[in-house]
Chains A and B, each alone.
Chain A
Amino acid sequence: MKFIERLTTIDRRIIYLVLAIVVLIPLISRSPERVRVMPPVEKLYNAVDTIPKDKVLIIDFGYAPQDMPELEPMGFALLRHAFEKRIKVLALCLYVQPLGLAQKALTEVTEEFNSVAQTNADSIIYGRDYVFLGWQPPPLIPMLGMGISITNVYPGDYYGNKTDTLPLMKYVKNYNDVALLVSLSAGSIPRSWVAYAQNRFGVAVAAGVTAVSAADFYQYYQTGQFTGLMTGMKGAAEYEELVETRLNIKKSRKASEALPSLTYGHLVMIAFIIIGNIGYFVQRKRRQK
Chain B
Amino acid sequence: MKRTFPLFLVFIFGILGIIPFIIPHPIVQNLDESIRNDILKILVAFALVLGLGSLLKVHMDKIKRKRENWQYSWILIISFLVSSIIGLFGGVAGAGPLPTSIGSFHFDIQTLYENIFMPLGATMFALLAFYMASASYRAFRARSFEATLLLITAFIIMIGIIPLGDKISPHLPSFAQWIMTVPNVAGQRGILLGVALGIIATSLKIILGIERSWLGGGE
- Chain A residues in the interface with B (C-beta under 8 A): 10, 12, 15-16, 19-20, 23, 33-36, 38-40, 64-69, 97, 99-101, 103-104, 136-138, 140-141, 144-145, 148-149, 152-153, 158-160, 199-200, 211, 214-216, 218-219, 221-222, 231-232, 234, 259, 262-263, 265-270, 272-273, 275-277, 280-281
Contact = CB atoms under 8 A, between A and B. Distances in A.
Contacts of A12: 134
A171 to B, nearest CB: 21
Interface in B24-77: 29, 32-33, 36-37, 40-41, 44, 48
Contact of B122 (A66, A97, A281): A66
Contacts of A23: 129
Interface of B: 20-21, 29, 32-33, 36-37, 40-41, 44, 48, 91-93, 95, 109-110, 113-114, 117-122, 124-125, 129-130, 132-134, 136-138, 140-142, 151, 155, 158-159, 161-164, 166, 170, 173-174, 177, 180-181, 184-185, 188-189, 192
Nearest to B141: A280
B185 A15 contact: no
Contacts of A270: 155, 158-159
A36 B130 contact: no
A167 to B, nearest CB: 20
B180 A218 contact: yes
Contact of A68 (B122, B137, B173): B122
Contact of B92 (A36, A159, A263, A273): A159
A18 to B, nearest CB: 8
A19 B118 contact: no
Interface of A is mostly: helix
B140 A100 contact: no
A140 B151 CA distance: 39
A266 B158 contact: yes
Contacts of A15: 130, 133-134, 137
B133 A269 contact: yes
A272 B136 contact: yes
A160 B88 CA distance: 12
Given A211-B161, A216-B188, A266-B158, 5 more contacts: A19-B130, A97-B121, A200-B21, A218-B185, A276-B137
A276 B29 CA distance: 60
A36 B170 contact: yes
A200 B92 CA distance: 34
A220 to B, nearest CB: 9
Given A16-B130, A38-B173, A152-B37, A219 B118 contact: no
